A = this chain, B = another copy of it.
Amino acid sequence: MQNKIHFNIFEKQKALKEELLLKIKKERLEIGYYGLPEQSIDEVLAFVETFDLKIDTIVVLGIGGSSLGSKAIYEFLKPVKNLKRKLLFFESTDPLNIKEILSQIEIEKSHFLVISKSGTTVETISIFKYLYAQQQDVSSYTFITDRESALDNFAKKIDAKVFYLPKDVGGRFSVLSVVGLLPLALCGVDITALLQGSSRVQESFFNDGYIKETLLNKAIFYAKYHTTYSINCLFAYTETLRYFSEWYVQIWGESLGKKQNDSAFHVGLTPIGLIGPKDQHSFLQLIVEGTRDKSVTFIKINDFENELEVPDVTLPFLEKLDILNGLTFHDLITMQSDSVIEALLEQRDIPLDEIIIERVDEESMGQLIYYYELLTSLVGQLINVNTYNQPGVESGKIILKEKLKNNRKKLNHKK
């Protein structure tokens, strides 16, 4: 991958960079995601190898960190790879959504991956109960959870296969662990290449490669101006990255939206995922003429599907658009993104950068994921937050539990 930065970088902030690197290297000893590119994937590969061939659909029961990563990668690769199984997700308690997914599933040909780090995620367990009431064959389920969670104990009780999240890997940083690797490998995704991609970025960052200075410069800029440019748009010129946007929104928003360490000061950077050229006709006006509170990162794909082209047809009254004739759609979409980038650069006060990924494959995706994980960690250090927790969502969970208990009491009372 390449990353061209069009805003002022901080070449000279040597001391700051040294200090930041030291902190990240220390974090690397404690936080599990950094080491995922080196993990052993033998257990996953062995499981896939002996997996029941009559199963044609893998169904993930998971929400947030348990689903967004594998969905991002699966949907990225689906249009170009001949994947061997379908991957579906139950990630809502919306009854209409549950019904719609049920209508796409043949239970006998499906295998269910129940994924919950804590083991007690309300959405995941409620849907699991619904499915389990209909299909009690234990061979239809595999569980991924923390060791010794309630779900682990349940799975062992019914003699189901369980995989464990590695130590110190949070949900939103878990895509390169078994949480993402197992569903993807079952669908035929080359998880070795995925991890190799991550490994390349990891090595480049920690061993003075090209990405080190780039990431440090970008993180320092984002952190220094985090109250000015508080919104970070990811503008991808390919529909295949639509779900990657959702993964990005989670990792960026949930990691950096915090009270600062040792203070009660609210900080945060707001992630927005955009898809071009569609969002040229929607969000772009706000970027060009709206408040100067946004940075924009464009993502383009270098080596793309290149067959489809605008035919050499002249239409009466539309002759002006003959400039499109003979152009491949790949060249057209590239010109569209370049034109928008040029137009935004003319404004001179919108911080821009471009990420160019080589092609739609596992290796490129592995790079992109690890790049964004590192960037998140770097910015988190600089704006002085705990990047890896999410205390803000607890009070809603507690209120829900109270409501559920009270409801239960009412029901029992009626009986």
A residues at B contact (CB < 8 Å): 63-65, 68, 79-80, 91-100, 119-120, 122-123, 125-126, 129-130, 132-133, 150-151, 153-154, 157, 171-172, 227, 230-231, 237-240, 246, 249-250, 253-254, 256-259, 266-268, 270, 272, 275, 277-278, 280-294, 304-308, 310-311, 313, 315-318, 320-333, 335-336, 338-340, 342-344, 346, 360, 390-393, 395-397, 399-401, 403-405, 407-408, 411
Contacts and interface: CB of A to CB of B under 8 A. Distances in A.
Nearest to A64: B281
A95 B327 CA distance: 12
A231 B172 CA distance: 24
Contact of A313 (B133, B291, B360, B393): B133
B315 A400 contact: no
Contacts of A282: 64, 68, 172, 246, 249-250, 253-254
8 contacts: A64-B282, A68-B282, A97-B240, A119-B318, A126-B324, A129-B321, A150-B320, A326-B411
Contacts of A237: 94
Contacts of A291: 227, 230, 257, 266-268, 270
A152 to B, nearest CB: 8
A284 B329 contact: no
A252 to B, nearest CB: 9
Nearest to A119: B318
Given A315-B129, A318-B150, A343-B395, A407 B93 contact: no
A187 B235 CA distance: 32
A259 to B, nearest CB: 5
Contacts of A397: 339
Q: How many monomers of this chain does the complex have?
A: 2
B323 A407 contact: yes
Contact of A281 (B250, B281, B343): B250
B270 A317 contact: no
Contacts of A280: 64, 393, 396
Among A246, A321, A401, the most chain B Cβ lie within 10 Å of the Cβ of A321
